[in-house]
Amino acid sequence: MCDNTLYKNEDVKESRRRLPENVYNDQMFCIKRALDLTMRQQTLPKNQWTKYKEDKLIFISKLYFQPYPKDIKCERKENEEWNKK
């Protein structure tokens, strides 16, 4: 499994747009917090570190992202074939 948040092509942009709002907001919060801490050259306080059980939930939420790129690729191919006719 790869982390699709690192790639910025049209399929990934559309996939992120289709994510449920709460999953998208959680992702944005984590990214913004990481950027903020990096800019201030600080580490996350230990009491805010992700616990093992929470980490499993985050992993599961990333699985929600997985079907979207496949669906979008199929839709794009279907549209291209339709436009050829």
Domains of the chain, residue spans:
4-84
Q: How many CB atoms lie within 10 A of CB 15?
A: 22
pLDDT at residue number 37: 93
pLDDT at residue number 1: 37
Does 24 score more than 60 pLDDT?
yes
Q: Rounded CA gap, 63 and 17, in Å?
A: 15
Mean of the per-residue pLDDT values of the chain: 77
Render pLDDT for 39-57 as a digit per residue (tens, 0 to 9).
999 998 888 887 777 666 5
Among 3.40.50.1820, 3.40.640.10, 1.10.10.10, 1.10.1090.10, name the CATH number for the domain at 4-84: 1.10.1090.10
Amino acid residing at 18: R
pLDDT at residue number 7: 59
